[in-house]
Amino acid sequence: MTEMMDKLRNIALVGHGNSGKTSLSEVMLFNSGATTRIGRVEDGNTAMDFEPEELKRNISISTGFHQAVWKKTAITLLDTPGDSNFFNDTRNCMAAVDGILLLVDAVDGVKVQTEQAWNFANDFQLPCAILINKMDRERADLARTFQDVLSQLETPRPIKIQLPIGSEAGFKGVIDLITQKAYLYDGSGKASLGSIPADLEDQVAEEREHLVEALAEAEDSLLERYLEGESLSEAELLAALKTGIRNRLFAPVLCASATGNIGVDRIMDFIIEAMPSPAEKPPVTGKDPATGNPIVREPNPDAPFSAFVFKTVVDPYAGRLSIFRVVSGQLGSDGGFYNVNKEVRERFNQLLMITGKEQKPVQGAFPGSIVAVAKLKDTTTGDTICDEANKILFPFPDPLPKLITFAVTSKATGDEDKIYISLTKLLEEDPSLKLERTVETKEMLLSGRGQVHIEATIEKLKRKYNVEVNLGKPKVPYRETIKKKVRVQGKHKKQSGGHGQYGDCWIQMEPLPRGSGFEFVDAIVGGAIPKNYIPAVEKGIVEACQKGVLAGYPCVDFKVTLDDGSYHEVDSSEMAFKIAGSLAFKKAVTDAKPVLLEPILNVEVTTPDEFMGDIMGDLNSRRGRVLGMEAHGKYQIIKAQVPMAEFLTYAPDLTSMTGGRGTYSMEFSHYDEVPAQIAEKLIVELNKEREA
């Protein structure tokens, strides 16, 4: 079993969209014999991208899984999305691998998602390597791109281990700086050894000296020998490379053209020679679910079984597919385990390996195995599964913040419940979505990472569940309140033969501090209103305050004191006093200077320095109030409070202002008064909408 762990590599291909991740995985699968042809993203026939929403946009929306066996070592490839709309899936899947290969476009250099993927790798303390891809494109430049990498991606430190032979359309091979061998390609993807071109000899010697110096730092004994002038063998340098990667001292930088199949075999050699196996992964610390005490699990096949689910795929016909990484112990081809998060036992009858859009049965799993089981009843993404007698709970990252919200309405009458149920199933697949029904606006709201994220979800809703919806701008949940203390009478008197209706109450109404809600005080003395009718007065006020007098929004933050009234021995009833309370409320609000309140958001915008002025000006134009700024590396974090009404379309606007390099998060803060000049127009508009 240990030998099988040694012969396994779990590698996530990560980076900005269009950096060539899917193309690289296609060529690696072809070179290894896992597939018989090389698919093209443009043609929509790749092994990793097969969902209709992916083929329509020519991007990866969901992580693809496959396995390439190269020189008797199995490389599990995870082709992750590079678009920010789907980066939650990228981060979740990075939690399950032993190392990442970060792709950087040789023309475009480091982009915002490149940096974000690198930050995720640092969060998970993952060993990293960097591939500068598309070296055969016009304007491709290794030196410029490497400088960009050095300046943007600092830890672990990038070090060059390869140099290109030729440039742009003349790119035809790579030089290994450790072995000082030149690998030349003829278009078939197979390399032949050649001599280092004479014009590159000096550069190779210089770059190799830098590399040897960096590698020597991985081990004290090597550094000491290097400083004393001793030469280090290739085997020692390779061992130092592996140690440095595992300890995150540096990130080797390679170069290739995935679509040209130039240097791809060297990437695969590098992965099996230098990237860590599951056996070399550090122990994982979880906690005892009963006591909260830390528990450490080694990647040991003889330890109790434990794993975590990092991705869920829901099919309307095949059911739920749960994909998980085994941390410790072993699992057979069928059986059961315990879900710690849900506190339930789960059973399965087949263990599967994901290979593109297919699943293949496997006989068992061990530490490092990335496998799946179908039709678990309660297990979802983020859950820990384990041996029931040895419970452990592993941490799992919370979903990335939601950045945009749409109101979802049915195209067909009466489909609302069907929409809600179907979207709930999609939420099992994608935890970065949020679905809620609002009482105030009576809307179904769908929130996600961006407009493309929401649109792709709606397309999937139609394809999988045959449900069509419209997307609209959500309504702002305004509130109403008062600013003045008043005392009024509410009297309901009706005589229509037989028993009449009589209820009479006097109330004082006064404002409360923002966020206080509603307070009712019974100050009746001398039995002016019988005790059994007083709750009815309160109920009438509570029901009436759900619709204010300005624009029909709930009234909040006020206190009512019931201090006087009268009743009739025969005609008084709970209903009569409830109506009297309602009438008193409406009259009091009208007299007490009612005002409109709007929700205010706490906002944090993270932006490169050069966009600070634009961001600040834009926040001010949205009636925002900047609270402060703080530096975070190469970025500035602006903290502000902004009215929700002005922030509903911020996601695309921020992307436009910063070229996609700005990010933000938001959360509800409090309600505040709408400025009078804005409130006047707003109340007219809101009442027109209400009447319509």
Flag whether pLDDT at 4 surpasses 90: no
The residues, any chain, with a CB within 8 Å of residue 545's CB and separated by 6 or more, are 518, 554, 555, 556, 558, 585
Flag whether pLDDT at 450 surpasses 90: no
Segment 356-371, tens digit of pLDDT: 988 999 999 999 999 9
Most confident of 194-198, 428-432, 540-544: 540-544
Task: At 57, list the tokens.
Answer: 């946009």
Place of tokens 């003889």: 302
Flag whether pLDDT at 582 surpasses 90: yes
CATH of domain 2-280: 3.40.50.300
Residue ranges per structural domain of the chain? 2-280, 284-386, 404-472, 479-592, 598-691
Flag whether pLDDT at 608 surpasses 70: yes
Rounded to an integer, the average pLDDT of 274-292 is: 94
| Burial class for 491, CB neighbours closer than 10 Å (0-12, 13-18, 19+) | middle
Q: Do residues 21 and 49 touch, judged by C-beta distance below 8 A?
A: no
Side chain identity, residue 467: V
- Residues 262 and 654: their CA atoms lie apart, in Å, by 38
At residue 130, the 3 state secondary structure works out as: strand
Tell which residue, 79, 354, 47, 74, has the closest CA to residue 362. 354
Task: At 544, list the tokens.
Answer: 């009436």
* DSSP class per residue in 374-386: E--SS--TT-EEE
Task: At 622, list the tokens.
Answer: 């949205």
- Residues 626 and 639: their CA atoms lie apart, in Å, by 6
Alpha-carbon distances, residue 572 vs 389, 447, 527, 578, 585 (angstroms): 66, 50, 14, 11, 19
Flag whether pLDDT at 224 surpasses 90: no
- Residues 225 and 202: their CA atoms lie apart, in Å, by 24
Q: Where are the beta strands (DSSP E) in 43-151?
A: 64-70, 73-79, 99-105, 128-133
Cα-Cα-Cα-Cα dihedral sign, residues 251, 254, 258, 264: negative
Cα-Cα-Cα-Cα dihedral sign, residues 206, 209, 210, 212: positive
- Residues 103 and 114: their CA atoms lie apart, in Å, by 8
Rounded to an integer, the average pLDDT of 404-425 is: 86
**Dihedrals φ, ψ of 142, to 5°?**
-65, -45
- Residues 507 and 504: their CA atoms lie apart, in Å, by 10
Task: At 604, list the tokens.
Answer: 């944090």
**Tally of CB atoms within 10 A around 202:** 9
Segment 113-145, tens digit of pLDDT: 898 899 999 999 999 999 999 999 999 999 999
Q: What pLDDT score does 686 carry?
A: 84
Helices (H), 324-446: 416-429
Q: What pLDDT score does 280 carry?
A: 93
Rounded to an integer, the average pLDDT of 423-430 is: 90
Flag whether pLDDT at 93 surpasses 70: yes
Q: What pLDDT score does 645 carry?
A: 92
Per-residue pLDDT band at 1 (split at 50, 70, 90): low
Segment 29-79, tens digit of pLDDT: 999 999 989 988 888 889 888 888 888 888 899 999 999 999 999 999 999
Q: Do residues 640 and 648 touch, judged by C-beta distance below 8 A?
A: no
Rounded to an integer, the average pLDDT of 181-209 is: 91
Task: At 10, list the tokens.
Answer: 């779990």
Rounded to an integer, the average pLDDT of 271-296 is: 95
Per-residue pLDDT band at 609 (split at 50, 70, 90): confident
Flag whether pLDDT at 692 surpasses 80: no
- Residues 399 and 408: their CA atoms lie apart, in Å, by 22
At residue 455, the 3 state secondary structure works out as: helix
Q: What is the mean pLDDT of the chain?
A: 91
Radius of gyration of the chain (CA): 32
Tell which residue, 455, 443, 405, 446, has the closest CA to residue 689. 443
- Residue 678 C-alpha from the chain's centroid: 35
Tell which residue, 333, 410, 336, has the closest CA to residue 378. 336
Flag whether pLDDT at 616 surpasses 70: yes
Segment 316-350, tens digit of pLDDT: 666 789 999 999 999 998 899 999 999 999 999 99
Tell which residue, 179, 176, 174, 150, has the closest CA to residue 164. 174
Q: What pLDDT score does 39 carry?
A: 87
Segment 464-486, tens digit of pLDDT: 888 899 999 898 999 999 999 99
- Residues 454 and 381: their CA atoms lie apart, in Å, by 20
Q: What pLDDT score does 415 carry?
A: 77
Q: What pLDDT score does 558 carry?
A: 97
Task: At 551, list the tokens.
Answer: 């624009």
> Domain 479-592 belongs to what architecture?
2-Layer Sandwich (3.30)
Does the domain at 284-386 match CATH 3.40.1000.10? Answer given as: no
Neighbouring-strand partners of residue 489:
506
Window from 58-67, 415-424, 521-530, 535-544 with minimum mean pLDDT: 415-424
Cα end-to-end distance, the chain, whole Å = 70
Task: At 159, list the tokens.
Answer: 């070090």
Window from 185-199, 322-336, 550-564 with minimum mean pLDDT: 185-199
What homologous superfamily is domain 404-472 in, according to CATH?
Elongation Factor G (Translational Gtpase), domain 3 (3.30.70.870)
CA trace torsion 346, 349, 354, 356 (10° rounding)? -120
- Residues 474 and 470: their CA atoms lie apart, in Å, by 12
Q: What pLDDT score does 226 carry?
A: 79
Q: Do residues 601 and 642 touch, judged by C-beta distance below 8 A?
A: yes
Q: Do residues 104 and 142 touch, judged by C-beta distance below 8 A?
A: no
Q: Do domains 2-280 and 479-592 have the same CATH topology?
A: no
Fold category of 598-691 in CATH? Alpha-Beta Plaits (3.30.70)
Q: What pLDDT score does 41 carry?
A: 86
